[in-house]
A and B are shown apart, each in its own frame.
Chain A
Amino acid sequence: MPYYTSSTQLPSETPKSSTAEAAYAPTERVASISATNHDQAEILARAQAGDHQAFAQLYSIHKKHVYSICLRMVGSIAEAEDLTQEAFLQFHRKIDTFRAESALSTWLHRLTINVVLMHLRKKGLQLNSLDEIMQPASDQRPGRSFGARDLTLSGAIDRLALQRAIKELPAGYRLVFVLHDIEGFDHNEIASLLDCSIGNSKSQLHKARLKLRASLRNHPQQEGHK
């Protein structure tokens, strides 16, 4: 029997109607935002038992984390929204299988990354063929990219310029870069996640960094500021 109504109000969202407002008093909303691990365990137990409001609370607690991972990995808002939805649907389907040996956030992190990877595979991303498809342009090849200026980027990297450069990376480069340098996976894990060799993961990461470097050098630091 479906236990969801058509308008389960999110605890930490601004209520959309007086009915919803009545359903979640302000104190409850505040409590959900600052949920401790103990609280989260209790919320999770209730969600696993079929409590729809508890699942909505879990969404409120973890939505930013999940959405941010999706956005970093695909670089598109529309895709990130779809993938966030899919991640939470899978979370809902599999919530009974979660056991407290690991933190829920870690489990959800892994689940989200798998959802994104599945999506990218469906789109036809073949990591093993990326080397052929995305050979860096001649001006990005290491041997020629740094002879003109003896300038390191250290301490001078503009956040917005780097963010934009990452967004503009070819999909395969961005994926490995985000997984390794931002999400903190090691090459063994990336190789396993992407079903590629460890050497391929290392190579993609290096090329991604080289491409970012070239991109940052081509765009003056001030460009990110208006």
Chain B
Amino acid sequence: MRESANNLTCTEFQAQIPELIGSGEQIGNHPHLRSCRLCRALLADLDAIAQAARQLFPVEEPPDALWDHIESAIVKEEATSDLR
């Protein structure tokens, strides 16, 4: 693990990433990143994954038969509540 300009090792820096990202700070300005190409690449990857995921999932159609099951369940529930 290499030392960075601010004396954080990559391991130490990476241990802080969840908190740094989660806090909404501009993590790109972190001193460690100025001198560490590998951690910059890591962050670029994580960002790319998050961006790609946002546009990822197509809207899926449930099977037609599902409504029949839901409708039957509603009928049962209402029949039960009428008996009470």
Q: Which residues on A are within 8 Å of B, measured CB to CB?
A: 1-4, 6-8, 10, 13-14, 55-56, 59, 63-65, 67-68, 71-72, 80-81, 84-85, 88-89, 92-93, 142-143, 145-147, 150-155, 157, 159, 162-163, 166, 177, 181-182, 187, 198-199, 201-203, 205-206, 209-210, 212-213, 216
- Please give, as numbers and ranges, the residues of chain B lying within 8 Å of A143 by CB-CB distance: 1, 10-11, 14
Partner of B52, one of A65, A84, A162: A162
Complex contact B1–A85 (CB within 8 A): no
- Please give, as numbers and ranges, the residues of chain B lying within 8 Å of A213 by CB-CB distance: 42, 45-46, 49
Complex contact B22–A198 (CB within 8 A): yes
Instruction: Provide the main secondary structure of the chain B interface.
Output: helix
Residue in B closest to A145 when the chains form the complex, CB atoms: B42
- Please give, as numbers and ranges, the residues of chain A lying within 8 Å of B69 by CB-CB distance: 85
Cβ-based interface call for B60 (8 A) = yes
Instruction: Provide the main secondary structure of the chain A interface.
Output: helix
Asked if A2 meets B52 with Cβ closer than 8 Å, knowing A84-B62, A89-B70, the reply is: no
Asked if A2 meets B46 with Cβ closer than 8 Å, knowing A181-B54, A187-B22, A199-B19, the reply is: no
The CA of A187 and the CA of B50, in the complex, are separated in Å by 15
Task: List B residues 7-52 near A (Cβ within 8 Å).
Answer: 10-11, 14, 17-19, 21-22, 37-38, 41-42, 44-50, 52
The CA of A4 and the CA of B68, in the complex, are separated in Å by 11
Complex contact A13–B53 (CB within 8 A): no
Complex contact B78–A4 (CB within 8 A): yes
Asked if A153 meets B11 with Cβ closer than 8 Å, knowing A4-B75, A85-B73, A206-B21, the reply is: no
Q: Write the nearest CB–CB distance from A189 to chain B, whole angstroms.
A: 12
Residue in B closest to A3 when the chains form the complex, CB atoms: B78
Asked if A81 meets B66 with Cβ closer than 8 Å, knowing A142-B11, A152-B41, A209-B46, the reply is: yes
* Other A-B pairs beyond A8-B71, A59-B67, 13, CB < 8 Å: A4-B75, A59-B70, A63-B61, A81-B62, A145-B42, A146-B45, A159-B56, A163-B57, A166-B56, A177-B53, A199-B18, A206-B21, A209-B49
Partner of A67, one of B10, B38, B61: B61
- Please give, as numbers and ranges, the residues of chain A lying within 8 Å of B45 by CB-CB distance: 146, 152-154, 213
Complex contact A71–B60 (CB within 8 A): yes
- Please give, as numbers and ranges, the residues of chain B lying within 8 Å of A205 by CB-CB distance: 18, 22
Asked if A4 meets B71 with Cβ closer than 8 Å, knowing A81-B62, A182-B54, the reply is: yes
Give 14 pairs: A residue, B residue, CB < 8 Å, sorted on A.
A4-B75, A59-B67, A72-B57, A85-B70, A88-B70, A143-B1, A150-B38, A151-B41, A152-B41, A153-B49, A166-B53, A201-B22, A202-B18, A202-B21
